[in-house]
Chains A and B, each alone.
Chain A
Amino acid sequence: MVKEKVVVKNPSGLHLRPAGILCREAIKYRSSIRFQHFNTTANAKSVLSVLGACIKCGNELEFICEGEDEEEALAAMVQIVRDGLGE
């Protein structure tokens, strides 16, 4: 299991479009990919789960990946959030 923290910088937080981009990236990997924010944990492969976490601009997420390609998955997730999820 590997973990890394990253700050969301999308102005309106993780609303539908950036959440969708996040999920599309996550489903490319076989590992389970979750993120934690305070006491909420979301499944990064489910857009509903990501939306439900109600992530706002400036929130810090901790990604937790577990599985055969966990290192690769973690690096990709952190990078895509850092790049602003298409915004």
Chain B
Amino acid sequence: MYKGTNASAGIGIGKAVIVEEKELVIQRETITDSAAEIQRFKGALETSMEQTRALAEDLATRVGEKEAEILNGHIMLLSDPMMTGEIESMIQKDQVNSEFAIENVCTMYADMFASMGDELMQQRATDMRDIKTRMQKVLMGVESVDIASLPEGTVILAKDLTPSMTAGINPANVTGIVTELGGRTSHSAILARALEIPAVVALGGILEVVKNGDMLVLDGSDGTVLVNPEDAVLAEYQGKRAAFLKEKKELEKYIGKPSITKDGVTVDLVANIGKPEDVDKVLQYDGEGVGLFRTEFLFMDRNAMPTEEEQFEAYRKVAVAMDGKPVIIRTLDIGGDKEIPYMGLEKDENPFLGYRAVRFCLDRKEDVYRPQLRALLRASAFGNIKIMIPLVTCIDEYRAVKALVEEIKAELDEKGMKYNPDVQLGIMVETAAASLIADIFAKEVDFFSIGTNDLTQYTMSVDRGNDKISYLYSTFNPAVLRSIKRIITCAREAGIMVGMCGEAASDPMMIPLLLAFGLNEFSMSPSAILRARKMITEYSTKELQAVADQAMSFATTTEVENYMREFINS
């Protein structure tokens, strides 16, 4: 068994076809008639543009405009006057053949982009090499590998797939893609997802162990690749493949459907994200907003604090992409257990009970919290942003943040900078203290979001990382359930929105209880949304009241879990 990076979900089973681009041998040749050679180059350039245009048009109609964009980019690069000018002047001055001039000029640009170190620029380096090869092939009369006419049931195996190679893939014949290079965000991975072909990338060395015609099985959800598996294993994966396709088809019916119960109660099904790029997934799975945008990624793995400007861009990007749908952004939840060298944090004896999250932020108002809140307020002018404070235990903390927000609003007013004056400020309810005084909080804050992971940990006084006591860690513990029910009831009585952004919000055994308690908003990983919507539409909150009453009557976690398991399977 081999393990690569999961790039496009699904099970692919088929015969391996190794796709290799023939290495072009470019030689320097001296020419005598440079004017004729420049004409030869111009002809090849024209043909390359036509080929690319045809590929782009085909891809746009077959897959989508967005996927064809990279090839339209190639057309722009091919028509660049600076590049063509340099190639022509090299042909003339050095009296060399077009192939050699192209090799030199394009490689120079590819190296320049590669050295810039930013991911988008790395892509441009790949693009430059791709257009270089295309022009040289036209000049040398070398045919490209014909990916479009591979036999049915093929798993493509390649070192890497260039955009022009991937563009020709026909999903009717290709059941999977495995590459040695690339990553989740490389062009071939993006296209594999758009074409819904299972793919595993960044699996180094796989070309050394697979021959053409070998039976390959790949699981694009976890990155597994099997070569010539036994019949029993093959049958198991065939079953998995059928189940995957069946469920996918069934869940797709729920795209664009309202999240409404049989008795007409509408809830919001939203997503948890950690990076601005995750928004694509939220939209793909029809999320109705973002229920938790963790901002830690902006602060981790770097040597200095992100600037207000940098944060503003990240928040704005998400707000704009979600196009008016709610986006709840949680302020920095960090400290104690996470190492951020530049923050100058000392190791806490008890990290989870220590100097972290809002406690830390309020202590570091000037260099940490103010820039973040300012960035959030400024970004609120571009969409429906709501601000959420983590780890609140007492109302003083909320009031202090609220005062700071008002102060910043006044500053922005003075400078004439835009923000949404009605931006909502809510709290994560994830400590025992916040739950116990949820009624007090509900009178002042704009919304609640229940963080079940921490709420369970703090309510049960159990470290969820410790295996010896993990049996205590369950959201179905009667104490935790009572806490959740209380938080929801307090919010409903005060008329504020109450959501949940922990793992429990997508748990099939928990959803019926949350519906019965009256939860307004369920936030989960994007890929869980459609399954949750299907479940919600199958229930009636009225009928669920009796189930919830019964579940709440038990004394132990096991009884609750058994009861709920039986209920959802009945």
Contacts and interface: CB of A to CB of B under 8 A. Distances in A.
Interface stretch (A13-21, A33-41, A61-69, A71-79): A13-21
A47 B316 CA distance: 27
A6 B291 CA distance: 36
Nearest to A57: B313
B513 to A, nearest CB: 40
B367 interface: no
B121 A48 contact: no
Contacts, number: 44
B124 A16 contact: yes
A45 B81 CA distance: 8
A85 interface: no
A48 B120 contact: no
Interface in B95-152: 109, 112-113, 116, 118, 120-121, 123-124, 127
Given A12-B120, A52-B112, A54-B116, A23 B76 contact: yes
Nearest to B82: A46
B77 interface: yes
Contact of A48 (B82, B116, B123, B313): B82
A16 B121 CA distance: 9
Given A11-B313, A11-B316, A12-B120, A48 B73 contact: no
A17 B77 CA distance: 11
A67 B83 CA distance: 23
A48 B309 contact: no
B247 interface: no
A11 B317 contact: yes
A57 B310 CA distance: 9
| Interface majority SS (helix, strand, loop, mixed), chain B | helix
A47 B39 CA distance: 23
Contacts of A16: 73, 76, 120, 123-124, 127
B69 interface: yes
Contacts of B116: 54
Nearest to B69: A17
B82 A49 contact: yes
B493 interface: no
Contacts of B317: 11
Given A11-B316, A51-B113, A54-B116, A46 B69 contact: no
Contacts of B82: 43, 46, 48-49
B80 interface: yes
Nearest to A58: B309
Contacts of A11: 313, 316-317
Residue from B77, B82, B316, B317 with most neighbouring chain A CB atoms (10 Å): B82
A15 B112 CA distance: 14
A50 to B, nearest CB: 10
* A16, A23, A46 — most chain B CB neighbours (10 Å): A16
Contacts of B118: 54
A58 B306 CA distance: 14
Contact of A47 (B77, B121, B123, B309): B77
A36 B507 CA distance: 55
A15 to B, nearest CB: 5
B77 A54 contact: no
Given A11-B316, A46-B82, A57-B313, A51 B73 contact: no
A58 B112 CA distance: 23
A20 B74 CA distance: 11
A52 B116 CA distance: 9
A51 B73 CA distance: 12
Interface of B: 69, 73, 76-77, 80-83, 109, 112-113, 116, 118, 120-121, 123-124, 127, 309, 313, 316-317
9 contacts: A11-B313, A16-B73, A16-B120, A16-B123, A43-B82, A45-B81, A46-B80, A54-B121, A58-B309
Given A11-B313, A54-B116, 11 more contacts: A11-B317, A16-B123, A16-B124, A45-B81, A47-B77, A47-B80, A48-B109, A49-B82, A51-B124, A54-B121, A57-B309
